[in-house]
Amino acid sequence: MPKINLLYIITKLELGGAQKQLLSLIGSLDREKYNIFLFAARDGLLVGEASSINGLVFKRSDFLERPVNPLRDALAFFEIYSFIRKNGIQAVHTHSSKAGILGRFAARAARVPVIIHTVHGWSFHDYQPGPLRYFYILLERICALFTSRIITVSFFDKKKGLKSSIGKDGQYVIIKYGIDAERFRLSQGRKEARAALRIGDNELAIGMIACFKPQKSPADFIKIADGIRKRIPDTKFIMVGDGVLRKRLSALIKKLGLNDRFILTGWRQDIPLILSALDIFVLTSSWEGLPITVLEAMAAGVPVVATDTGGVREAIESGKTGYLAKAGDRQSLQNRIEELLMDRRKRSEFIRLSSERINSGSFSLEKMCRETEKLYSDLWGGRQGA
């Protein structure tokens, strides 16, 4: 049977959950069945990793970018369309919002028979102005008309899509994020990691790993830290990531007099080692799909306190495998963090039950890759048999 020419399109290969999952998927695909292509923005922290994947044809776009720019977006559309036609692409799988719209329109124009889109969190949310939110919903509705399958990483996002009249129930497939849990179960290195981050032996470390953008509400983490340090002085706060809010966050840390309590590491690739240094992991997002950092923290044996957004509750059972609080409720988040800081037994119980949840295989990388490849086979086999 001839190989299928399969193209992945993602806006930017930054260090995020969608990007890491995509590269893991590409690395696992059967090279005897697929010729694999990737189209993404020219720059990104994971460009080097993508370029090193064996057998991958990687096109770095001159025009694809996250901000809306009508001229560059039009040029990106024609760039994708030309790439599809030039390489005889037979199936397109888009990821992220901008690539999901432009990529699916280009695939439709090029008459690609199989078009799949993965929702890593919808492009529309309750914090947008009404007209803008409706515009994004309208675009998703139009694209759904010619999308073979819509993959969501959580039940929450499937319900949200259907509630917004995007596609039909039969178009949706839920394939949850998968991680290689063994990478995060470090038997040694915690002491060295804490020393490198300047965390004292008697200090408790609270950390957050996220892009510094409005979605993640990183300023909430800093304000929560300000409240905690007044009650529990022997604490350090680690923020891993970077983004458009970096300068504003640094200024807030200085304003609150937290410079000696905070460590901003920038983006890091050694996340398992960073997690091993933490006593509690926090995520303050205003909206989410299913944050992979929560799964990684659970696998690393770090208790999680997070906002109850998107599919987070599909990983965390509040009071059993972690704590959840309403988005924006800084006081509740602070109270839960302080409770865990003062209760070693509770932290240990969360770690034990989180490990059981991860070990169940519900969020395994192998399961995610197997289910995705089965979807490809079913869709392509269905066309061949038609």
Instruction: Using the predicted structure, report yes or no on whether residue 188 has a pLDDT greater than 90.
Output: no
DSSP secondary structure letter of residue 183: G
Q: pLDDT-derived band of residue 15, with 50, 70 and 90 as boundaries?
A: confident
Residues 6+ away with beta carbon under 8 Å from 85: 110
Per the prediction, the chain carries an average pLDDT of: 95
Find out whether 318 and 340 touch, Cβ atoms under 8 Å. Answer: no
- Classified as helix, coil or strand, 262 is strand
Domains of the chain, first to last: 4-178+364-385 (3.40.50.2000), 181-359 (3.40.50.2000)
Find out whether 118 and 154 touch, Cβ atoms under 8 Å. Answer: no
Distance CA 3, CA 348 (A): 49
Q: pLDDT-derived band of residue 384, with 50, 70 and 90 as boundaries?
A: low
| pLDDT one-digit tens code per residue, 64-90 | 998 889 999 999 999 999 999 999 999
| pLDDT one-digit tens code per residue, 92-143 | 999 999 999 999 999 999 999 999 999 999 999 888 999 999 999 999 999 9
pTM over 0.85? The answer is yes
